[in-house]
Amino acid sequence: MKSKFDIGLETRKAILGKDHLDKVKKNISELDKDFQKFITEYAWGDVWSDPKLSKRERSMLTLAILASQGNHEELKLHIAACKNTGTSLGDMIATMMHVAIYAGLPKANLAIKLIKEETKIWD
């Protein structure tokens, strides 16, 4: 039976990509190793690996939360991850329409700007 950490690592790699995960692993230090273990087990091993919601649904929820809180760096990371979760550009814009109504137009407007910038490299 796989550990929660191993499940989380597989999910994290599938969603964020091998390159991102390699950068994270390379930069882990004694200071943040426990934190990285924690997010791999709980954010990725529990929440993102739970089959009750699809990866696409989780991506849209994550984009909405990050945009509404103004977490722009993490938002850019998850916009890029949408390519791996089946979340389309249309899904992202529909999500930002909800952000506009419930969290504010400026937050959605900036998030849409980031979506446009981050998805320019998509095939």
For 15-43, the pLDDT digits (tens) are: 999 999 999 999 999 999 999 999 999 99
Q: What is the pLDDT of residues 100-112, one digit of tens each?
A: 999 999 999 999 9
CATH fold of 55-118 reads AhpD-like (1.20.1290)
Report whether 103 contacts 110 (CB < 8 A): no
pLDDT for res 122: 75
**DSSP secondary structure string for all residues of 24-65:** HHHH--TTTHHHHHHIIIIIIIIITT-TTS-HHHHHHHHHHH
pTM above 0.75, yes or no: yes
Average pLDDT over residues 69-94: 97
In this prediction, what percent of the chain has a pLDDT beyond 70? 99
HEC assignment per residue over 75-90: HHHHHHHHHHHCCCHH
Output the pLDDT for position 121. 76
Answer whether residue 123 shows pLDDT above 90: no
The amino acid sitting at 48 is W
* Residue keyed to tokens 């739970």: 50
pLDDT for residue 45 is more than 70: yes
- In this structure, what are the phi and psi dihedrals at residue 83, rounded to the nearest 5 degrees? -60, -30
Q: What is the pLDDT of residue 99?
A: 98
Give Cβ neighbours of residue 25 (< 8 Å, ≥ 6 apart): none
In the chain, ranges of CATH 1.20.1290.10 domains: 55-118
